[in-house]
Structure 1
């Protein structure tokens, strides 16, 4: 049986969410859908205070086997230095995540650029939410000369052409699948950039985990490509 890895899950308060995002819900969903590892992050870090959010994330992941901790920093409140990234590595965080639109900062932002170089020096992968056409291109231009693996989160079918162009040009870029809900979108991305560049992500519990798994299972990909997307790629990139 495939060892499924979900690189995009959240827990905690989320205004407007129609489902239960409590920490207790995520392990239940994992068991129900045979997910072996979820990369998880507290929404407190995204919405309120990244220090408190990261503390909540690492505490939850210590209590629940199968959860891999994801850190975040709001660049608006980052004043330089390598301390945050070094601390994340010491505490066992597997990934660092950024939310420019939700937090109201532009990609071309000096504190974010400083963080990118700090991440690169310590080889910690990053995930960036990119919901608007043009954002993928912009982040790819910023990453020229920066040696860091970048996972693009929330990519929709209308961004598929942009994503494929960037993935072809930059070996360190990947796309997670939570935004690829349109029929044929996942297969199109795999055909254009390769199955080794696509990672399974659900955005659960805010979005249905079962539907996200089914979208890959019924995408028309070969079993070998499904195995890459559903877990093998994430294990290699995140050292799981």
Structure 2
């Protein structure tokens, strides 16, 4: 029996009253994923009025014991912030959620130092997003240094692969610093952090209902950590830091198994990579064995694979290495990476490999190889891709290029184009009349709501599964799709049927 405490949830949505972001919806997500309790706060406290937002939080947690209250304080509200801190402490809040970037004040300020002194007497956790700064690297060390002698826990939210190295170094230097796991989306990132800073310094968080809860759960459950370590991350550490007793959780749901959740049918992954990542990842490079083992655990029967090296440095070398790596593994199918700035080379690469039975098609990634989506170079290369008759995995230069992607699809109606890394509902509406344009949703901080809307707008026949491994964890991406797909009738085409048709499997 494993109790889960989610330390990173909120409710409310700025401007509109979208029912997907209400406290009621958050409560349904807790029950759906068997979460025993959740730390939470009202988004109104960040976006508009901390006092009104805190009132909403206190009212919610008073009527629903599944929720544990966090207060939001804005230090620019003088002298109101100190009065609000005292008021919410009296009302029973268990932690403080601060937003120095969103509220536009520096941590080095005298006002923040006064807050730290007050929290030193109160001894409740302080939660700050590690990304509430320019790059994600500036805030963690500053916050840790400025709170080091105060005695209360500092919990860094939203750590991800871009600042994970810095957060781990900060945690090694400052033992009062903890990290929440929602953004740890790369392969075995939770395991890597646990090895580096200790499982006792990690706290499960989901950022629900904005982000998918099963994704963040699977990121913890995928690791090779012991059950004791997983249980500590999922709930034990939060119970210790926030003073939640086991008696408070009697009658609440719990997990019976610490195995990651997956689908009970085959999955085809249309988006994966081999190569070196300059990030805190396991160094798998072009070794396909770890990828194949993850595929086996998740029931992924086929993966379409390209080279990250080809996107970043050397197209021909990366294509050669990925084709060598997948040789002898019928579950793996190669993408030839192509570059619109090098038309002749791209055509030569396609012609070199397209007659091989395990080559699925090509990939054009215009964020790694910058080129405008509607440029003559892209249009010329797309004509060559269409002429050769194999599908393309395509990443536009901008999320606002839906109209251009629609044009490209309609110009080449016999070419299957898979849009990579998800899209907004507006994108889906724009391309709805281009039946050969598909979309997959792998992303480090994805929206299961956007994926759900894509299914509703385009239909399940236009959505496919992608993971982005070996960068992103396929366990997390399976969790994303689990939280968006509602029926088996949707699951079959999305998970395997569409890809079988597109790639002729």
For normalisation by structure 1, the TM-score amounts to 0.94
- Alignment match of 2:207 (pick from 193, 200, 203): 203
Q: 1:33 to 1:130 in 2, by over 3 A?
A: same
Structure 2: segments with no counterpart, 5+ residues: 245-505
CA contact (8 A) 1:100 1:129 kept: no
CA contact (8 A) 2:129 2:158 kept: yes
CA contact (8 A) 2:46 2:99 kept: yes
Q: Distance in 1 between matches of 2:85 and 2:14?
A: 25
Q: 1:12 to 1:174 in 2, by over 3 A?
A: same
Instruction: Work out whether 1:178 is the aligned partner of 2:182.
Output: yes
Q: 1:78 to 1:229 in 2, by over 3 A?
A: farther
- Alignment match of 1:189 (pick from 183, 189, 193): 193
CA shift, 1:80, in A, is 7.5
1:106-145 alignment, distance < 5 Å:
106-131=106-131, 132-145=136-149
SS at match of 2:21: coil
- Bigger drift between 61-70 and 39-48 goes to 61-70
Q: Distance in 2 between matches of 1:187 and 1:89?
A: 35
CA contact (8 A) 1:74 1:98 kept: yes
2:161 equivalent in structure 1: 157
CA contact (8 A) 1:19 1:206 kept: no
2:152 equivalent in structure 1: 148
Structure 1: segments with no counterpart, 5+ residues: none
Summarize deviations over 1:155-195 as a string: whole Å, max 9, x none: 11222221122212222110001111111211111000000
1:14 equivalent in structure 2: 14
CA RMSD across the alignment: 1.9
Structure scoring higher RCO (CA < 8 A, sep ≥ 6) equals: 1
Q: 1:157 to 1:203 in 2, by over 3 A?
A: same
Give aligned pairs, total.
240
Q: Distance in 2 between matches of 1:141 and 1:117?
A: 13
2:87 equivalent in structure 1: 87
Q: 1:47 to 1:82 in 2, by over 3 A?
A: closer
CA shift, 1:115, in A, is 1.1
For normalisation by structure 2, the TM-score amounts to 0.46
CA contact (8 A) 1:14 1:21 kept: no
Radius of gyration: which is bigger?
A: 2
CA contact (8 A) 1:97 1:127 kept: yes
